[in-house]
Amino acid sequence: MSLALIHAKPNRATIIVAQRRLLSLATKYEHPSLNLWFNNARYLVSASSPASIPKLEGEPEVVIVGRANVGKSTMLNLLLTRNKLVTTSSKPGGTKELKFFRVEITAGVTTKPLVLVDSPGYGSRGRAHWGQLFDQYIQERKQLKRIYICFNARHMLKDTDLAMLEHLSKAANGRWTIQPIFTKIDAIPENRASSHILQMIEDLEKVADPTLVHKPFMTGMVRGSGVLGVGIVGLKKDLARVAGLVKPIEEIEEPQTKLKLDVLL
């Protein structure tokens, strides 16, 4: 998404600062097409107990986790390109189940499916109730490839965020990787954006295993003539990577024509 589309000056300035801060961390991709298409997104099923977790074998999965009200549902709607497919709530802990969604990702002439899972927000009431559900899901899900953990950029990293990151890292055992996402990046005041983001990155590096936890993405919402999702393009490229459609350049043994696409915007 081009920054030229952003109309709200304070938000635009903050995002530019954030982009510069993370530019050196961006993953470069080789891809047969400049365009990725996300089609046929649909809701599949919800699971409210370990026994009700669907098998859905044969297709790669990712799960989105984060504190209550961190913006997971809004982000999922933008990723799936379906407004209100994922129900959002103004109340913390609005999501009380694991909700499964399926989307088809097309690059060039190749289409592959991906299942995205929305999880309840941690740090809210009911954590003990759904903790067993979530833990059993990640421990037994063979097709789980990546966990996206969202951190509200307005509030820095909380103790519960660091505890969840540590929990996921210990449970991974080589089965998945962890992708941090700084959400609501547009809410950081411009004069604090650079130092604020740098502090969050440093906090991550103190606890994160670099072989397991990727460098962070940024997302935010900019309100002007319409509501724009900033950083969603980069996340879509990463989802395409999980689906097997995109490879980072460093993973390609004999690269030919390289189309370098920043992960940030």
Return contacts of 135-138, CB within 8 angstroms, 24+ apart: 135/171, 136/50, 136/53, 137/47, 137/50, 137/53, 137/63, 137/98, 138/63, 138/168, 138/171, 138/176
Residue 248 CB: number of other CB atoms within 10 A? 14
CB 186 within 8 A of CB 142: no
Label residue 43 by pLDDT band (50, 70, 90): very high
Span 76-96, average pLDDT: 68
> Residue 77: pLDDT band by 50, 70, 90 thresholds?
confident
How far is CA 100 from each of CA 63, 80, 138, rounded to the nearest angstrom? Answer: 9, 12, 14
Which distant-in-sequence residues (6+ apart) come within 8 Å of 177 by Cβ? 145, 146, 147, 212, 213, 214
Residue % of the chain over a pLDDT of 70? 70
Q: Chain-wide mean pLDDT for the chain?
A: 76
* Structural domains for the chain: 3-251 (3.40.50.300)
Residue pointed to by tokens 């724009």: 228
Indicate whether this model's pTM tops 0.85: no
pLDDT digits (tens, 9 = 90+) for 12-39: 555 555 555 544 444 444 444 457 888 8
Q: Residue 241 above 50 pLDDT? A: yes
Q: What is the pLDDT of residues 180-226, one digit of tens each?
A: 999 888 888 878 888 888 889 888 888 888 888 888 888 877 655 44
Tokens linked to 170: 């210990």
Confidence tier at 48 by pLDDT (50, 70, 90): very high
- pLDDT of 112 over the 60 cut: yes
pLDDT winner (highest mean) among 11-15, 150-154, 230-234, 260-264? 150-154
